A and B are shown apart, each in its own frame.
Chain A
Amino acid sequence: MSDATNPLVTDIAPPAPGYWATAGRKLIRDRAAIVSLAVLIIIALLCAAAPWYAQHIARTDPFQSNLSGTVIRHGKTVEVLAAANNPLHLGIEPIGPSWRLGPYMLGADDQGRDVAARLLYGGRNSLIISFISAGICLGLAAITGILSGYFGGWTDRIISWLLDALWAFPVFLLAISLSVVLIAHGIDIGPIRLDASSLALPITIIGIIYVPYVARPVRGLVIGLRQSEYVLAAIGIGGPAWRILWFDILPNVISSLVVFAPLIVALDLLTEAALSFLSIGVQPPAASWGTIIENGESLIYTRPIVAIAPGIAIVITVLALNILGDGLRDALDPRAKLRN
C-alpha cells in the first residue's frame, strides 16, 4: 500500500513541542504572571545586594546599634536618635526617612540602625528561609504522598497516621511549640548540632509543618493515577516499581507540585514573619522581615515606617507569588489551549 492511499500516514506534521515547552510558552503570554516573576527576581536581587548596599550606600553596620551617632541631613548634623518631641521628653525618636538614596534612606530604628539596610538583610533571610523550607516541604510531601498513594496498604496507613498526627495540630501552635523548645536549646543529636541562632532551625520547622497540606492532595492524585490504564499497562509489562514511579507517576505529579510551589513559598514567608514577630523565628542580631516589624512595633506612633516597610515588602512578595502560582496553574493545565 502506498502512503498516498493509506489514511493512517497522510498527516505527517512536525512533532509537537514537549509538555514543559508548551507550558513555558503559555506562561510567557500571561502578562500578570511574568510581571510577578520580574518583581520577585528584582526583590531577590535587591536582597542579595544587601551587604553592598550597607557598605556603599547606607555606610553603616546594620547589626550594630548606633545610639549616639550623627548624620548629615540637609547640610546640618543631626542626631540619629533624638529625645522624643513630647512635653515630658519621654522616650526617643529615631531619625525619619530621607527618601533619597544614601544613609538612613528609610530612617533609623530604635537602636539607630539603618532601616533600609536591615530591610534588605532581613529580606535575604526571609527569602532564604521561605524558599528552602518550601523545597523541604514539597520534597517530603512528594515522597510521602507518592509512596503512600502508590503502595497503599500498610505503607499508606503508617504514612497517613504520621501526617494526620501532624495535621491535627493547628499550624501556628505546632510551629510555636517546636520553636520554643528548639530555639531555647538548639538541636544536639549525635553528629547534628544546630546552634539556637542557626537559620536551619526555622527552616526545618517551617518546612515540616505544611507537609500534610501538600502530601494529601499528592496522595489522592497518585491513587487516581495508580488505577489509570497506562500505569496498569506499565505494571503489566513487568517493570520494577521504581521505573513506574519515575516515568509514569512522578512526571504527572510534578506539575501539581510546580503549581503548589509559589503558594507554599508565600505561606512559608508569612509563617516565618509571624514566628519572627513572636521572637521565635530568626534570632537577633540577625534580621528578617518579621523581626523588623517586631522592632517597629514600639515605634508605631512615632516612626511607623519601621514596621510598615517590611510589611509592604511581605505583601508585595506574597502577592507576586500568588499571581505567579495562578499563572503556573493555567500554563500547566493541558486543557487550556494556547492563546494567540
Chain B
Amino acid sequence: MSDALLSIDKLTKTYTTGSALLASGKTMIRAVDAVSFTIANGETLGLVGESGCGKSTLGRCVTRLLDVSSGSITLAGTDITRQRGAALRETRAGLQMIFQDPYASLNPRRRVRDIVAEPLIVHHRGTRRDIRDNVAALIQAVGLRSEHLDRFPHEFSGGQRQRVGIARALALSPKLIVADEPVSALDVSVQAQIINLLTDLKRERGIAFLFIAHDLGVVRQIADRVAVMYLGNIIELGATEQILAAPAHPYTEALISAVPVADPARAAHKTRIVLAGDPPSPANPPRGCPFHPRCGYATDICKTTKPALEVLNDGRFTACHHPRQG
C-alpha cells in the first residue's frame, strides 16, 4: 500500500535479560516479533491483546520512545526507524502519543497552560500571543474551560487529566496519534466520554489513530480495523465488525466470548470459551504456533510449524492453520 500513512514492516523488539558480562547467562525476549501492518490517513487501527502481549511495546516503538531491534517504520513516506536528533524531533511533531495513566503522564509541577503549550513552544508554532490563543482553543476542543488552564494536574479528576493529555497530543495537529490504553485507567462512565471525544476528533480533524486497548468493547466503538496480538505476534487483522462478529482465529474467538453481553436472553445462549493455563513466557515461547498449548483445535502441524499471517477469502488476515471462518 503506497497511500499508507504509517507502514510497519517486520518490526521486532527484543530485550536481553541476565548478566551483562556473562554471555551465557543472557536470555532473549522477543516482545514484538516481526509485526507488519499499515494505517491509512484518517484510519483508526485498534490493537488488542492481553497484558504482556507486547502491544504497549509496539506503540512505544512506533513513537520511537523505544529503539527498534529490526524491521522498519515508515511514516508518510519517510523511513523513521533510525532517525535521530533534529530529524527525529521534527518527525515527532506529526506523531503524538496519549498515555494510559492520566495521573503519571502530566508533570505535577507544571500548570495545565504550560503543559499544553509545550509542544507549540518547542516547535516554534507562532508568537506568544498565537500560542496563548491556540492553547485556549485546544482546551475548549477537549471539553475543558480556559479557567482550567491555570491549575495544576492534581486539581483534576482522571477523566479531566486525560482530556489535558489529549489537548497536548492535539496541539501540533499530528497526522497520527498513538493512544496507549487511553481509557483503561478511567471509570466506565468517563471512558464513554473520552471515547466520544476521540471519535469526534477523529471525524473532525481526520487524525489517524493506533488505538491500543485490551477491551474489545472500547475498540468496537472507535476502530475501523482491528489487529489482535498474542505473544508478540499479530494473529488476526481485519475490519472491526468482521472480526468481532465472526472471528477466524481461535484466540480471537476466545477473547470475544469473554466480552459480557448486556441482554440476559442473549447471554443465556452464549457459550464462553475458557482458555486453560496462562500465556507462555515470551522468554521461552512454544515451538510452532505460539497459541497451540492453549488452543482447542490444535493438531500436529500447529506444534511444529508457525502459521504465517495470510489473507483469507473475505479479505482479513489470520495466522492460523485451522481458521474458523473465511
Q: Do A and B bind each other?
A: yes
Q: B-contacting residues of A (Cβ < 8 Å)? A: 6, 8-9, 12, 15-16, 18-19, 228-230, 232-240, 243, 247-248, 251-252, 334
Contact of B152 among A6, A16, A239 (CB under 8 A): A16
B109 and A233 contact, CB distance less than 8 A: no
Tell me, in angstroms, the Cα distance from A155 to B168 when the chains sit together. Answer: 31
The proximity string for B residues 91-112 relative to A, scoring 1 for CB distances below 8 Å and 0 otherwise, is 1110111011100111111100
B144 and A230 contact, CB distance less than 8 A: no
Contact of A238 among B90, B104, B159, B163 (CB under 8 A): B90
Q: Chain B contacts of A248 at CB under 8 A? A: 107, 110
Q: Chain B contacts of A238 at CB under 8 A? A: 88-93, 119, 122-123
Determine how close the nearest CB of chain A comes to the CB of B31; give it in whole angstroms.
16
Query: A8, A228, A240: which has the most chain B beta carbons within 10 Å?
Result: A8
A229 and B99 contact, CB distance less than 8 A: yes
Tell me, in angstroms, the Cα distance from A170 to B88 when the chains sit together. Answer: 46
Q: Chain A contacts of B152 at CB under 8 A? A: 15-16, 18-19
Determine how close the nearest CB of chain B comes to the CB of A109; give it in whole angstroms.
52
A236 and B65 contact, CB distance less than 8 A: yes
Contact of A8 among B99, B118, B144 (CB under 8 A): B144
| 10 pairs of residues in contact across A and B, judged by CB atoms under 8 Å | A6-B143, A8-B160, A15-B155, A16-B151, A19-B109, A19-B152, A229-B101, A232-B60, A238-B123, A247-B107
Q: Chain B contacts of A9 at CB under 8 A? A: 144-145
A229 and B119 contact, CB distance less than 8 A: no
Known: A16-B151, A232-B65. A237 touches B143 (CB 8 A): no
Determine how close the nearest CB of chain A comes to the CB of B69; give it in whole angstroms.
17
Tell me, in angstroms, the Cα distance from A239 to B92 when the chains sit together. Answer: 9
Tell me, in angstroms, the Cα distance from A251 to B143 when the chains sit together. Answer: 29
Determine how close the nearest CB of chain B comes to the CB of A237; give it in whole angstroms.
5
Q: Chain A contacts of B96 at CB under 8 A? A: 236-237
Decide if B63 is an interface residue (CB 8 Å cutoff): yes
Known: A8-B144, A19-B109, A247-B107. A237 touches B119 (CB 8 A): yes
A239 and B105 contact, CB distance less than 8 A: no
A16 and B155 contact, CB distance less than 8 A: yes
Known: A12-B145, A247-B107. A233 touches B97 (CB 8 A): yes
- Enumerate the 4 nearest inter-chain pairs by beta-carbon distance, A residue then B residue, closest first: A238-B92, A238-B89, A229-B105, A239-B122
Q: Chain A contacts of B107 at CB under 8 A? A: 230, 234, 247-248, 251-252
Tell me, in angstroms, the Cα distance from A233 to B110 when the chains sit together. Answer: 13
Known: A15-B151, A247-B107. A232 touches B99 (CB 8 A): yes
Determine how close the nearest CB of chain A comes to the CB of B132; give it in whole angstroms.
17
Determine how close the nearest CB of chain B comes to the CB of A156; give it in whole angstroms.
13
Contact of A237 among B92, B108, B151, B193 (CB under 8 A): B92
Decide if B150 is an interface residue (CB 8 Å cutoff): yes
Contact of A243 among B92, B122, B147 (CB under 8 A): B122
Give A225's nearest chain B residue, CB to CB: B107
Q: Chain A contacts of B193 at CB under 8 A? A: 8
Tell me, in angstroms, the Cα distance from A6 to B151 when the chains sit together. Answer: 19
B105 and A233 contact, CB distance less than 8 A: yes
Query: B109, B114, B143: which has the most chain A beta carbons within 10 Å?
Result: B109
Contact of B109 among A16, A237, A252 (CB under 8 A): A252
Known: A8-B160, A16-B151, A252-B109. A234 touches B118 (CB 8 A): yes
Determine how close the nearest CB of chain B comes to the CB of A38; give it in whole angstroms.
29
Determine how close the nearest CB of chain B comes to the CB of A253; give it in whole angstroms.
11
Q: Chain B contacts of A232 at CB under 8 A? A: 60, 65, 97, 99, 105
Tell me, in angstroms, the Cα distance from A230 to B91 when the chains sit together. Answer: 19
Contact of B97 among A8, A236, A239, A334 (CB under 8 A): A236
Query: A19, A232, A233: which has the most chain B beta carbons within 10 Å?
Result: A233
Q: Chain A contacts of B63 at CB under 8 A? A: 236
Tell me, in angstroms, the Cα distance from A238 to B143 when the chains sit together. Answer: 26
A8 and B143 contact, CB distance less than 8 A: yes
Determine how close the nearest CB of chain A comes to the CB of B269; give it in whole angstroms.
37
Query: A16, A235, A237: which has the most chain B beta carbons within 10 Å?
Result: A237
A230 and B145 contact, CB distance less than 8 A: no
Tell me, in angstroms, the Cα distance from A216 to B122 when the chains sit together. Answer: 31
Known: A9-B144, A12-B147. A235 touches B65 (CB 8 A): yes
Give A232's nearest chain B residue, CB to CB: B65
A247 and B110 contact, CB distance less than 8 A: yes
Tell me, in angstroms, the Cα distance from A12 to B149 when the chains sit together. Answer: 11
Tell me, in angstroms, the Cα distance from A233 to B118 when the chains sit together. Answer: 11
Q: Chain B contacts of A16 at CB under 8 A? A: 151-152, 154-155
Give A8's nearest chain B residue, CB to CB: B143
Determine how close the nearest CB of chain A comes to the CB of B123; give it in whole angstroms.
7
Give B91's nearest chain A residue, CB to CB: A238
Determine how close the nearest CB of chain A comes to the CB of B174; give it in whole angstroms.
10
Q: Chain A contacts of B154 at CB under 8 A? A: 16, 334
Tell me, in angstroms, the Cα distance from A252 to B107 when the chains sit together. Answer: 9
Q: Chain A contacts of B90 at CB under 8 A? A: 238
A239 and B104 contact, CB distance less than 8 A: no
Q: Chain B contacts of A228 at CB under 8 A? A: 104
B88 and A239 contact, CB distance less than 8 A: no
Q: Chain A contacts of B172 at CB under 8 A? A: 237
Determine how close the nearest CB of chain A comes to the CB of B40; give it in whole angstroms.
22
The proximity string for B residues 68-103 relative to A, scoring 1 for CB distances below 8 Å and 0 otherwise, is 000000000000000000001111110111011100
Tell me, in angstroms, the Cα distance from A237 to B91 when the chains sit together. Answer: 10
Q: Chain A contacts of B114 at CB under 8 A? A: 247
A-contacting residues, B157-190, CB 8 Å: 159-160, 163, 165, 168, 172
Give A13's nearest chain B residue, CB to CB: B155
Give B93's nearest chain A residue, CB to CB: A238
Determine how close the nearest CB of chain A comes to the CB of B247; give it in whole angstroms.
32
Determine how close the nearest CB of chain A comes to the CB of B241; give it in whole angstroms.
30
